[in-house]
A = this chain, B = another copy of it.
Amino acid sequence: MCRFLIYRGRGMFMSDLLTKADRSLIHQSFKAREREEPLNGDGFGVGWYSPEIDTTPCAFTSTTPAWSNRNLHRLAEKIRSPCFFAHVRAATPGLVVSEVNCHPFEHGRFLWMHNGAVGEFLKIRRPLRESLDDELYNFIQGTTDSEHAFAVFLNYLKPYMNGYTLSDLADAMSATIEQLNVWTRAAEVARPCRYNFAVTDGHNIVATRYSSDPETLIESLYVSVGDRFENIDGRYRMAPTEADNRAIIITSEPLTDELSDWQEVPINHMVTVSPEMHLDIKPVH
């Protein structure tokens, strides 16, 4: 389900990644290649940081398809940000297409999005909710497994709210997946659970590629790192970096046909990005 992308680096217009690149996210919204069902038309969302203004993100979400949303096209042309999340949704059958179910989800300075699904989610929703304190219990507005997983993550992060590190975020992410596994095993969920989660505070990023049964079903995930993602004679490329990373893209599918620019994230691994743009890939757990 769904396609997402993450950008961190120098200020970049969202339109470069959302509408202009050959395999832009909006292209993926109607013609995804690495999913059996190519359509992600059940709403979308973007969230971005403007460090010159403050530390919390701004978000724009809608239940209409991304490809025809005039406001999205207008905003993407004018908003330049050093860190943004974008998501196009294919609703889990039976789940309502509603604005409260659009990704990315926001909480304080965090953004969260998800590609995948908790198999038979309703079987674990009650114990999941019961594990939350009142603030997080009431934070949940919609019915998606994705937003509920975000609440579990925030619950784990709570003790560190006044001063966490990238490592704390990665640990909270691992703990979230582990706890979801505990609940789905207890509920005897048979269908594979796929947890391509992504979270950021505008500086740190954690993104996972995980399936409880990776041989049967796993969502794709790629990273591209370099000096800058640039348009040369009408084609986008990731220009190589000579020293430090200055541009990082994490995405469900490559945004261009230059496949050498895109590295597949190994199965059941997580990508972490530090405030200094150091990128690391390591196993979940």
Which residue numbers of A lie inside 8 Å of B, CB to CB? 30, 39, 41-42, 50, 53-54, 58-65, 67-68, 70-71, 74-75, 77-80, 91, 96-100, 122, 125-126, 129, 134, 137-138, 141, 143
Determine if A141 and B96 form an interchain contact, defined as CB atoms under 8 angstroms apart.
yes
Cα-based distance from A59 to B96 in the complex (angstroms)? 16
Determine if A60 and B71 form an interchain contact, defined as CB atoms under 8 angstroms apart.
yes
Contact of A138 among B60, B97, B122, B137 (CB under 8 A): B122
Q: How far is the CB of A26 from chain B (nearest CB, A)?
A: 13
5 contacts between A and B (CB under 8 A): A30-B41, A71-B71, A98-B99, A100-B143, A141-B143
Q: How far is the CB of A173 from chain B (nearest CB, A)?
A: 26
Determine if A65 and B65 form an interchain contact, defined as CB atoms under 8 angstroms apart.
yes
Instruction: Determine the chain B residues whose CB is within 8 A of the CB of A98 once the complex forms.
Output: 98-100
Contact of A74 among B42, B58, B126 (CB under 8 A): B58
Determine if B126 and A137 form an interchain contact, defined as CB atoms under 8 angstroms apart.
yes
Give the oligomeric copy count.
4
Q: How far is the CB of A5 from chain B (nearest CB, A)?
A: 20
Q: How far is the CB of A139 from chain B (nearest CB, A)?
A: 11
Cα-based distance from A134 to B126 in the complex (angstroms)? 9
Q: Chain B residue with minimal CB distance to A140?
A: B143
Cα-based distance from A205 to B163 in the complex (angstroms)? 48
Instruction: Determine the chain B residues whose CB is within 8 A of the CB of A60 once the complex forms.
Output: 71, 74-75
Q: How far is the CB of A282 from chain B (nearest CB, A)?
A: 34
Determine if B58 and A75 form an interchain contact, defined as CB atoms under 8 angstroms apart.
yes
Q: How far is the CB of A270 from chain B (nearest CB, A)?
A: 29
Contact of A30 among B39, B96, B126, B138 (CB under 8 A): B39
Instruction: Determine the chain B residues whose CB is within 8 A of the CB of A75 once the complex forms.
Output: 58, 60, 75
6 A-B pairs with the lowest CB-CB distances in the bound complex, closest first: A58-B78, A68-B97, A41-B41, A98-B98, A122-B138, A60-B71
Determine if B62 and A64 form an interchain contact, defined as CB atoms under 8 angstroms apart.
no
Instruction: Determine the chain B residues whose CB is within 8 A of the CB of A96 once the complex forms.
Output: 70, 99-100, 141
